[in-house]
Amino acid sequence: MINKKEDRRIKKTKQLLRQGLIEIMFEKDIKNITIKELVEKVDINRSTFYLHYTDIYELLSEMENRLTNEIQEVFDSYKNIDQLEESYAFILALYQTFDKNRDLCKAILSSQNNGDFIQRTEEAIEREIRIKLEELLGNDYMISQNTFTFYRCGCVGLIKDWITNDLPETPEEMTKETYHIVIDSLQRLQHKK
Long-range contacts of 67-72 (CB under 8 A, 24+ apart): 67/101, 67/104, 67/105, 68/117, 68/120, 68/121, 68/124, 70/97, 70/100, 70/101, 71/97, 71/121, 71/124, 72/124
The model's pLDDT over 100-133, given as tens digits with 9 standing for 90+, comes to 999 999 998 877 656 677 788 888 877 877 777 7
Q: 41 and 17 in one domain?
A: yes
Q: 74 and 5 in one domain?
A: no
Candidate from 10-14, 25-29, 77-81, 117-121 with smallest mean pLDDT: 77-81
pLDDT at 1: 47
Kindly report the number of other CB atoms within 10 A of residue 35's CB atom. Answer: 16
Q: 93 and 188 in one domain?
A: yes
90 or 20, higher pLDDT: 20
Q: 30 and 3 in one domain?
A: yes
Q: 112 and 45 in one domain?
A: no
Q: 134 and 116 in one domain?
A: yes
The model's pLDDT over 33-62, given as tens digits with 9 standing for 90+, comes to 999 999 999 999 999 999 999 999 999 999
The model's pLDDT over 141-177, given as tens digits with 9 standing for 90+, comes to 667 778 777 877 888 889 989 999 999 999 999 999 9
Read off the amino acid at residue 156. V
Provide, rounded to the nearest whole percent, the portion of the chain with pLDDT above 90. Answer: 45
In eight-state DSSP terms, residue 84 is: G
Q: 102 and 18 in one domain?
A: no
Q: Rounded CA gap, 13 and 150, in Å?
A: 41
pLDDT at 125: 78
Write the CATH number for 148: 1.10.357
pLDDT at 85: 62
Q: 133 and 68 in one domain?
A: yes
The mean of the pLDDT values for the chain is 84
Report the number of distinct structural domains present in the chain.
Answer: 2
Q: 149 and 114 in one domain?
A: yes
Write the CATH number for 19: 1.10.10
Read off the amino acid at residue 29. D
Q: 80 and 43 in one domain?
A: no
Last residue of a domain, one of 13, 29, 53: 53
pTM check: above 0.85: no
Q: 160 and 180 in one domain?
A: yes
- Residue 109 belongs to domain spanning: 62-192
Q: 30 and 13 in one domain?
A: yes
